Amino acid sequence: MKKHNNLAEISIQTDDFSLADEVALLEQDNLTDGAVVTFTGRVRNHNNGNAVTALTLEHYPGMTEKSLANIIKQAKERWHIGRVKVIHRIGELSIGDQIVFVGVTSKHRQDAFAANEFIMDYLKVSAPFWKKEKITNAGKISENWLAAKDSDNDKAKRWS
């Protein structure tokens, strides 16, 4: 495989991203990996029964990148994967907006599926991002920091 030094594996950004462009980068000059698995997370219009109208994402600059790099490193130690890309947006987002992208290539699909889900599961519990939702409940608008879910901890524990 040709080296691709210009492809940073991690991007924390306010701007939107293009799924097609990201996958094209993962596949470029990469004819050995036949499998590409992507995960895209978007802002839903509902959460816990409330109508969500917008989302703000805060992060801890520096630690976020370090945390994600560590997760990717672990994934590469556990599975035979080729290229990895993780994008997470920060700032103000609207309903339907893309929040997060994880793309993984591999020779065999099982590795790409497992590594992609592993990265998402650990991102959810160990990468320092926080969501604040703007919700409408009975006509009243309020802003709430999301509470972490036990189910996310359970998902991450499956891998250990």
Partner 1 sequence: MINVVFFAALREQLGCAQLSLAADDVKTVDDIKRLLCEKNEQWQQTFANTSLLSAVNHDMVDGDHLVKPGDEVAFFPPVTGG
From CA 87, how far away is CA 113, in angstroms rounded? 17
Q: How far is the CB of 3 from partner 1 (least distance, A)?
A: 27
Which listed range, 2-10, 72-80, 110-118, 144-152, lies at the site for partner 1 (CB under 8 A)?
A: 144-152
| Cβ-proximal residues to 23 (8 Å cutoff; 6+ apart), any chain | 36, 38, 103
CB of 17 to partner 1, least distance (A): 15
147 touches, from a copy of itself, partner 1, none (C-beta below 5 to 8 Å by class): partner 1
The reply on whether position 85 binds partner 1 by CB under 8 A is: no
* Residue nearer to a copy of itself on the CB measure, 62 or 91: 91
Residue number with CB closer to a copy of itself (12 or 43): 43
Q: Are strands 10-13 and 84-89 parallel, antiparallel or unpaired?
A: parallel
Q: Tell me which of a copy of itself, partner 1, none is bound by residue 155, counting a contact when its beta carbon lies within the kind-specific cut-off of 5 to 8 angstroms.
A: a copy of itself
Write down the least CB distance from residue 20 to a copy of itself, Å.
4
DSSP the chain: ----TT--SEEEESS---HHHHHHHHHTT--S--EEEEEEEE--SEETTEEEEEEEEEE-TTHHHHHHHHHHHHHHHHS----EEEEEE-EEEETT-EEEEEEEEESSHHHHHHHHHHHHHHHHHHS-EEEEEEEEETTEEEEEEPPPPHHHHHHHHTT-
**Choice between 26 and 123, CB closer to partner 1:** 123
Q: Which residues of this chain interact with a copy of itself, rule CB under 8 A? A: 18-20, 23, 27, 31-46, 95-96, 107, 109-110, 112-113, 116-117, 120, 155
The reply to whether 63 sits near partner 1 by the rule CB under 8 A is yes
Nearer to a copy of itself, 32 or 62 (CB): 32
